[in-house]
Structure 1
């Protein structure tokens, strides 16, 4: 397991092994994505969003734009 230490200013030095695996370097951005309460995943933000769409896998449901609009209108009409 690789660990890092948080400084008093809230900074972390990401270990070289992790930077290498994420393919990030100085100045690159890292996204912190909450995957569960108290659990986060670090993702290199150097790729375009279309390159990262496979993170979630293919959707088991195909939904048309018309179906989306109907659902939005239906749910919007029942707001609190």
Structure 2
């Protein structure tokens, strides 16, 4: 269980592990639904339905070289051959 702190403005910050679990990042939206007993549920506003376009650039890291398809295929072949 994760405990969050409420700020003086009535805001909370979700910890990285919770955002990762929900598959959310900066700019994403979160649906919050009250439930009986004083609790609530949270879900990504997309209800977990994402398109292939949502994953474009997901592996890009600043300063990382972009690989061509041929370079990717070479790396994959080396891994299958046990060379990597």
TM-score range (shorter-chain normalised) is 0.5 to 0.7
Equivalent residue pairs, number: 49
Please say if residues 24 and 44 of structure 1, whose CA atoms lie closer than 8 Å, have aligned partners that are also in contact: yes
Could you say which residue in structure 1 is the equivalent of 2:22? 22
Which structure's residues are more often helix, by fraction? Answer: 1
Q: Using the alignment, how far apart are the partners of 1:6 and 1:44 within structure 2? A: 21
Q: TM-score, normalised by structure 2?
A: 0.51
Gaps of 5+ in 1: 52-80
User: Runs ≥4 in structure 1, deviation > 6 angstroms?
Assistant: none
Deviation at 1:39, TM superposition (A): 1.1
Gaps of 5+ in 2: 50-84
